Amino acid sequence: MQKKMVLGGLIGAAAFCLVLNPVIDKNYFMNINYSYFGPTGTFVAMVVGEVVAVIYYNWVRFHFFENSDKVPDFIVDWLNNIAPIFLILLFGYILIGVLGVDIVDVLSTIFSPISAISNTYIGFVLLILIPTILYSLGISSWAFGAVSNPIYFANIAANIAAVEAGGKALSIATSEATFTAALITLGGMGCTLVLVIMAALKGKSKKMKAMGRICLVPSIFNINEPVVYGFPIVFNPILMVPFWLCSIVGASIEYFVMKLGWLNIPSKMIQVGQIPAPFSSIMITEDMRAIIWWVVLLIVYWLIYWPFFKAYDKECLKQEAIEETGE
């Protein structure tokens, strides 16, 4: 199985290079648009990988030739390795070399509305809210990365290019603005740092005090798995609501603050999400005003979480009283 995984990855890489429609010049050198090996080609690579995986998986699943007593085992292995490679590359050659289909252009046309919507207020909020909701249901926010990452990469690439050309960064929907700056993800998805501080300082139940102290250091570095699964927030109707609300409100404030020019839009690719705010906020935006908005958002998140924290703390106290009395 490990060999098949490696082979599948190599087939995917070969199919991706084929999709980029390489051109052989008169000196027999192969020329490829190498920009597609960066953020621009991320989504194309993902689609090609999915197609290759489906074809290769189904070929392996049907066990062609494996039940034949007349064919030696090494021939069976050879056929089952070479056949899917031949089919995938032949399909790609016919589609691109014979029919002249530009896969990159087709995919860009199909998904360009998604990228455009991402830089609107609604699109930006949805890019934050959807993975937050999934996270509160126990599904890692990384699962949504298949949709959001290509958009984020393309947008930050556009910002970098614009600044290098002497213009301004215009795309707010980037991983840097969402995660690395840690204004929308203060403590992690759902802005849980304030919840942890409340639990550590204001918690009356033993559970809340303990969890607040345990989760404080990870939360400062924007690692909130202990909070999400430990408090828990997952499938907890009391804490799920502020978890969602902070994502909506935080994304809204950051969007309009950057749109109005009150905070710089990120124009450098930095994919490190564990730098504590406001240091990360200043570093990513290259703007000292980030400290002001960090304070504002910290207060806003505190106000949102406070009533829900008090309600959940009371529930924990009641549960602990029941466990102590045995009633």
DSSP string across 114-155: HHHHHTSHHHHHHHHHHHHHHHHTT--GGGGHHHHHHHHHHH
Question: Which amino acid would we find at residue 200?
Answer: A
Query: DSSP assignment, residue 23?
Result: E
Q: Which tens digits make up the pLDDT trace of 179-214?
A: 999 899 999 999 999 999 999 999 999 999 999 999
Worst-scoring range by mean pLDDT, 42-56, 162-176, 264-278? 42-56
Task: Note the pLDDT of residue 33.
Answer: 65
To which residue do tokens 């290019």 refer?
161
What average pLDDT does range 46-57 have in this prediction?
Answer: 77
Q: Answer yes or no: are the C-beta atoms of 220 and 274 closer than 8 Å.
A: no
Residue 315 has pLDDT above 80, yes or no: yes
Residues 32-40: contacts with CB under 8 Å, at least 24 apart:
36/104, 38/153, 38/157, 39/150, 39/153, 39/154, 39/156, 39/157, 40/153, 40/154, 40/157
Task: Note the pLDDT of residue 314.
Answer: 93
d(CA 275, CA 290): 14
Residue 15: both structure tokens together: 């199919």
Which position has the higher pLDDT, 283 or 59? 283
Which position has the higher pLDDT, 161 or 37? 161
Confidence of residue 72 (pLDDT cuts 50, 70, 90): low
Dihedral sign for Cα 110, 115, 116, 121, please. Answer: positive
Burial (0-12, 13-18, 19+ Cβ within 10 Å), 170: middle
d(CA 226, CA 231): 8
What average pLDDT does range 125-154 have in this prediction?
Answer: 83
Q: Enumerate the H helices of 67-222 as residue ranges.
A: 73-93, 103-118, 121-136, 145-164, 175, 193-202, 206-220
Those residues with Cβ within 8 angstroms of residue 204's Cβ, 6 or more apart along the chain or in another chain: 313, 317
Query: Could you tell me the pTM of the whole model?
Result: 0.70
d(CA 265, CA 160): 11
Which position has the higher pLDDT, 288 or 327? 288
Which position has the higher pLDDT, 277 or 143? 277
d(CA 52, CA 158): 29
Q: SS3 of 252, please?
A: helix
Q: Name the nearest CA neighbour of 196 among 281, 291, 320, 301.
A: 301
Q: Answer yes or no: are the C-beta atoms of 280 and 182 closer than 8 Å.
A: yes
Q: Which tens digits make up the pLDDT trace of 230-239?
A: 999 999 999 9
Residue 278: both structure tokens together: 């406001």
d(CA 67, CA 229): 47
Task: Note the pLDDT of residue 151.
Answer: 85
Task: Note the pLDDT of residue 89.
Answer: 79
Worst-scoring range by mean pLDDT, 91-100, 214-223, 288-297? 91-100
To which residue do tokens 């984020």 refer?
152
What average pLDDT does range 168-173 have in this prediction?
Answer: 92
d(CA 16, CA 42): 10
d(CA 159, CA 175): 12
